[in-house]
Amino acid sequence: MVALGNAPTNVLIVGVGGQGVIMVSKVLAQMCQNHGFEVKQSEVHGMAKRGGGVFSHVRFGPKVWSPTIPEGEADILLALEWAEGLRWINYMKPESGTFIADTQQIVPPFACRARGRGAEANYAPQTPVEIMGKVKAGYAIDATTMAEGLGNLRAANTVLLGALSTALDFAPEDWLDVIRGFVPPKTVDINMQAFKEGRAWALEGDKRIDEPAAKPAPVLQPQVTTRLEITGEWCKGCDICIKMCPERCLRLNAQLVAELAEPDLCTGCRMCEWLCPDFAIKITNTPVTEAIA
Ligand code: SF4
Ligand code: SF4
């Protein structure tokens, strides 16, 4: 647990656009304000379209002069995406920093080395086991799968807030009150549950690692089958996916909802999934051998 003293407490929140970095930092800032602390928050979200790096510095204490956290001074690094956590790891206090990260890997389509079905992709090779061996305290939690199990993968950031709550001395009920005010009314129940599950998971022990996600980064096999699913209710017809698909295989239908017009051309590159601001597209690439089995 990070001691809340006279010096500012520094929490650095990082992820990629569309994950909710700003929401998480606003919840934390509100919590701190509610407890009488002075709070300074600074953020970069110019790349807030899905995929760009987003970070937010939250500093709170009896008095805070500067809004930004110097390198090596973060008490807690909260990463909504694994590689983004690694990118910022030098910002943690080396002797006492706490690293909390979703083990979810969002592999940018631009990391593909070749254009084609199942092209190999580059991704940070460090596993949760390696990183947990290096940091003083932390959690590598598969928050996305946990949220998916609750029926809404967007609640992954609330799962992480649950884990974060174990590192700060605020009552869980206070967190829940604040979160309730930040999430859409129809998702309140799921988010309350997500917070509780994330908190319970982290309370089971420091340096905990979600085993299923501790696997090395998946590298696509040469032969895969691709399933592309579009959740019509979430699509607002912005046509970003259609314009950005390298193979030109998507189109808007008469109801202005994206649909896959040319399935045979789709390479499963995930560009559309990555760029959709509304998480309306899900790509599943399955190695051919697995698909046959
Ligand atoms: S539909 Fe999506 S996954 Fe398929 S080629 Fe186009 S951008 Fe890539
Ligand atoms: S699927 Fe997403 S990116 Fe494509 S048109 Fe709909 S909202 Fe836009």
Rounded average pLDDT over 103-132 = 73
**What are 206-226's pLDDT values in tens digits?**
777 876 444 445 554 457 789
Residue-level pLDDT at 286: 85
Which ligand is closest to the CA of 284, given by its number? Answer: 1
Q: Is the confidence at residue 124, as pLDDT, over 70?
A: yes
Residue ranges of the domains in the chain?
A: 9-214, 224-292
**What are 67-113's pLDDT values in tens digits?**
999 999 999 999 999 988 998 999 999 999 999 999 988 776 666 55
Residue-level pLDDT at 270: 85
Q: Say how many CA atoms lie within 13 Å of 264 toward its Cβ.
A: 0
Q: Is the confidence at residue 61, as pLDDT, over 70?
A: yes
283 lines ligand 1 (CB under 6 A): yes
Residue-level pLDDT at 291: 46
- Token pair 């706490």 is found at 98
Residue closest by Cα to atom 4 of ligand 1: 266
Domains 9-214 and 224-292 share a fold: no
Verdict on whether the full-model pTM lies above 0.85: no
Residue-level pLDDT at 211: 61
Contact (Cβ atoms closer than 8 angstroms) between residue 64 and residue 36 = no
220 lines ligand 1 (CB under 6 A): no
213 lines ligand 1 (CB under 6 A): no
| CB environment 253-282: b (16+ within 10 A), e (fewer) | eeeebbbbeeeeebbbbbbbbbbbbebbbe
61 backbone dihedrals φ, ψ, rounded to 5°:
170, -175
Q: How far is CA 104 from CA 149, 162, 166, 238, in A?
A: 14, 17, 21, 26
Ligand 1 atom closest to the CA of 268, numbered from 1? 3
Q: Is the confidence at residue 290, as pLDDT, over 70?
A: no
Mean pLDDT, the chain, rounded, equals: 86
Kindly give the distance from the C-alpha atom of residue 269 to the centroid of ligand 1, in angstroms, as a whole number: 5
Name the pLDDT band for 127 (thresholds 50, 70, 90): confident
**What are 130-155's pLDDT values in tens digits?**
888 888 899 999 999 999 999 998 89
Whether domain 224-292 has CATH 3.30.70.20: the reply is yes
Residue-level pLDDT at 214: 44
Portion of the chain with pLDDT greater than 90, in percent: 58
**What are 12-22's pLDDT values in tens digits?**
999 987 788 99
Residue-level pLDDT at 292: 45
Whether domain 9-214 has CATH 3.40.920.10: the reply is yes
